[in-house]
Amino acid sequence: MSRLSAIVTTFNEAEQIEETLRRLSFADEVLVVDSFSTD
């Protein structure tokens, strides 16, 4: 069976990250990489 991973790179996305992750709920694995955000 195939598995799907999603990679999300972020920078100062505190206001949007929750909705983004909710929309990726179909993925088997979600990796979030932060780029030194200040928020």
Q: What is the band of 1 on the pLDDT scale with cuts at 50, 70, 90?
A: confident
Q: What is the pLDDT of residues 6-39, one digit of tens each?
A: 999 999 999 999 999 999 999 999 999 999 999 9
Tokens for 29, please give them. Answer: 């694995």
Residue in 39, 33, 3, 37 with CA at minimum distance from that of residue 20: 33
**From CA 28, how far away is CA 7, in angstroms rounded?**
11
pLDDT at 15: 96
